[in-house]
């Protein structure tokens, strides 16, 4: 419910004509012998979101909810010319066999890779909380990882995107990539994260060099509707960096 409150708080500050609401089933759903909690509900959300993306006919900004909402848009937009930049405190690279929780939001990037996305076109940015299996997968798959202490300015991120060969960039942002000192509305806070100014700088550097294939902002989880207002200026600053007109 904290994620619902967060998404609704963001939506309240956006133009109604520019938003589309995807209904998320609140029933438990069924794991369908997959090892993924609530998989049937997740599949329904993916179907509904995919239909809206197809109707939009171009890049969209998807606002969660948790990181699981990225399954549909990244699958839709991440063609062979796209590099995926994953701003997140967590790599979300568990599989059903390795996940300690069976929660899909910790498996979504691994799912996208298992469906055929090239690991060589993924850049983990700001990740700092790895399960052992995730760390092993990053090494074996050759995924580029840039920790927070090397994201004080955009040069290394830009270099990594250039090396991936992508001509467009999909930007995923889990707000827990930020240090908890700058954003309290985090479900899974991790210390030593990014300053919002650094994140905005990274987004700006990406947009100066590459077209945006799509973007997602997830995991804004205020303790209450009232408390959401405390962190909304930071969230809206990030959204502005993602969406403002170039030039």
Which CATH number covers residue 66?
A: 3.40.800.10
Neighbouring CB atoms inside 10 A of 139's CB total: 10
Range of the domain at 35: 2-243
The tally of domains found in the chain comes to 1
Question: Whole-prediction pTM value?
Answer: 0.96
pLDDT at site 20: 94
Instruction: Report the distance separating Cα 177 and Cα 148, nearest Å.
Output: 9
pLDDT at site 105: 97
The answer, yes or no, to whether residue 246 has pLDDT greater than 70, is no
* Entry field: residues in the chain: 247
Residue 96 contacts residue 36 (beta carbons within 8 Å): yes
Tell me what the pLDDT averaged over the chain comes to. 95
Instruction: Report the distance separating Cα 211 and Cα 230, nearest Å.
Output: 32
Q: Which residues of 207-243 are buried (b: 16+ CB within 10 A; e: fewer)?
A: beebebbbbbbbbbbbeeeebbeebbebbeebbebbe
Q: What is the pLDDT of residues 34-82, one digit of tens each?
A: 999 999 999 999 999 999 999 998 899 999 999 999 999 999 988 889 9
Span 84-104, mean pLDDT?
Answer: 97
The answer, yes or no, to whether residue 19 has pLDDT greater than 80, is yes
The closest alpha carbon to 60, from 45, 47, 50, 48, belongs to: 50
The answer, yes or no, to whether residue 225 has pLDDT greater than 90, is no
Residues with Cβ within 8 Å of residue 7, at least 6 apart in sequence: 63, 64, 65, 220
Starting at the edge strand found earlier in the chain, the sheet holding 144-146 runs 61-63, 212-218, 168-174, 82-87, 122-125, 144-146
What's the chain's Rg over C-alpha atoms? 17
Confidence of residue 244 (pLDDT cuts 50, 70, 90): confident
Preceding omega of 65 cis (within 30 degrees of 0): yes
């Amino acid at each position: 419910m904290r994620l619902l409150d967060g998404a609704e708080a963001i939506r309240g500050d956006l133009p109604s004509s520019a938003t589309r609401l995807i209904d998320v089933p609140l029933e438990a759903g069924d794991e369908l012998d997959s090892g993924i909690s609530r998989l049937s509900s997740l599949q329904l959300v993916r179907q509904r979101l995919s239909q809206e993306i197809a109707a939009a006919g171009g890049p969209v900004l998807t606002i969660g909810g948790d990181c699981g909402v990225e399954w549909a848009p990244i699958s839709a937009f991440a063609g062979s010319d796209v590099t995926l930049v994953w701003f997140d405190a967590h790599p979300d690279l568990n599989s059903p066999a390795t996940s300690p929780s069976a929660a899909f939001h910790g498996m979504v990037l691994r799912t996208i890779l298992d469906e055929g996305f090239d690991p060589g076109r993924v850049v983990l940015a700001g990740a700092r909380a790895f399960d052992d299996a995730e760390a092993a997968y990053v090494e074996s798959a050759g995924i580029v990882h840039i920790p927070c202490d090397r994201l004080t300015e955009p040069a290394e991120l830009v270099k990594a995107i250039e090396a991936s060969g992508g001509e467009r960039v999909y930007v995923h942002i889990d707000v827990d990539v930020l240090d908890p000192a700058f954003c309290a509305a985090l479900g899974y806070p991790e210390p030593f994260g990014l300053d919002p100014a650094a994140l905005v700088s990274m987004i700006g550097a990406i947009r100066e060099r590459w077209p945006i294939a799509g973007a997602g902002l997830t995991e804004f989880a205020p303790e209450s509707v009232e408390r959401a207002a405390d962190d909304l200026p930071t969230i809206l600053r990030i959204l502005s960096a993602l969406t403002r007109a170039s030039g």
